[in-house]
Each structure stands twice: as C-alpha cells, then as structure tokens.
C-alpha cells in the first residue's frame, strides 16, 4: 500500500467475500423460510375437531363412574403435572353440586399420580385414557372437556379455541 492507495486486488477480494456472505445468507434465509410454514389456526382447529363425536350421541353411557350423579363432566388431561392439578382445583371450585359426576381421563397416568388424585379429589373418578376412549371422544388436544346429560347424551365438547375455565361454565350451563 504506497501513498495511501488501496490495492485494487484487495477491493475485489473484499467485494467478492461480501457478495459470497450476502448470497449465502440469502440462500439460508430462503431455505429457512421455506421450511417454516405458519399454520392457519382455523385450519388446524377444523382438523382437531373433524372426528369429534356428535352432540346428542349417547356415548356417555359407556363412561362408567364410581359415584354416579345426574350429569357427567369428563375432563381429558395429558398428565398429572402441577398445572393440571391447579386446573382440577378450579373445576372442583366451580362444581358445587352433588348432581354432577366428574370423570378424569389421564393419558399418562402413573400409579402414584392416581393415588394423589384420588386423595385430593375423592369425589372424582380417575382413569387412564385408553385408546378406545381416546378415539371415541377424539381427545386431539389437552385439556379437553365434555359434558353428558342425565340420559348419557353428549351435550358439550370443548372447542380448541376455548379456555378450560370458560368451557367449564358453558358445559355446566348446558347440562344443568
């Protein structure tokens, strides 16, 4: 570098490296964007509920409970983690009548968790969510709430966009 001049070869090398990095970045960004496809919530909700049982269906008779009441609330959960136990406390606080039986269907039910649930929620029937119930109720997401009237007819199914707390209120209103 004589007299403060930058050699032309160095400029070309810098420009070439810059172009290479920019081109690689554009290629990687384009590939990453092609792999990422945001899911339209309406489409995914429709796919989650397309196999739901029909309202009015009398499949509630197949769901036996230890302490039968006039109506049946079924809550399907993925597991018995702390957040789900808090949900169950909220459910218990909203159901203050003897005319409602609650069946908890837990997908990943460990024996220790079953004992804890039966201790903390003695009026609830606790059961493992088996494949036939999973298919019959279409438990495509968790938590999922169902309500059956006194004749065993399905009256309410929690939609995917509805929070559990709101679904509890709607389900109770539907069957009482």
CATH of 46-175, one of 3.40.710.10, 3.30.70.980, 3.30.1330.10, 3.40.30.10: 3.40.30.10
Please give the pLDDT value at position 20. 59
Residues 6+ apart with CB under 8 A from 124: 88, 102, 103, 104, 117, 118
pLDDT surpasses 80 at 4: no
Inter-residue contact 145 to 167 (CB < 8 Å): yes
Q: How far is CA 127 from CA 47, 90, 104, 113, in A?
A: 27, 19, 6, 11
Residues 37, 117: Cα–Cα separation, whole Å: 40
pLDDT in tens, 74-91: 999 888 777 777 777 777
Please give the pLDDT value at position 156. 94
Inter-residue contact 146 to 137 (CB < 8 Å): yes
pLDDT in tens, 12-38: 666 555 565 555 555 554 454 444 444
SS3 label, residue 9? helix
pLDDT surpasses 90 at 146: yes
- Prior bond of 65 cis (ω within 30°): no
Please give the pLDDT value at position 33. 46
DSSP letter, residue 51: T
Q: Which helix (H) or strand (E) holds 118?
A: helix 111-120
């Amino acid at each position: 570098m004589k007299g403060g001049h930058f050699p032309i070869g160095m400029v070309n090398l810098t420009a070439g490296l810059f172009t290479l990095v920019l081109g690689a970045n554009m290629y990687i960004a384009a590939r990453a964007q092609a792999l990422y496809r945001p899911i339209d919530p309406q489409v995914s909700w429709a796919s989650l509920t397309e196999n739901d049982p029909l309202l009015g269906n009398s499949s509630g008779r197949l769901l036996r409970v230890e302490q039968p009441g006039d109506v049946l609330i079924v809550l399907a959960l993925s597991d018995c983690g702390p957040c789900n136990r808090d949900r169950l406390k909220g459910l218990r606080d909203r159901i203050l009548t003897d005319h409602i039986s609650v069946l908890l269907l837990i997908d990943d039910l460990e024996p220790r968790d079953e004992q804890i649930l039966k201790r903390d929620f003695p009026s609830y029937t606790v059961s493992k969510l088996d494949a036939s119930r999973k298919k019959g109720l279409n438990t495509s997401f968790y938590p999922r709430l169902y309500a059956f009237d006194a004749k065993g007819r399905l009256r309410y199914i929690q939609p995917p966009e509805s929070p559990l707390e709101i679904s509890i209120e709607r389900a109770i209103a539907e069957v009482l």
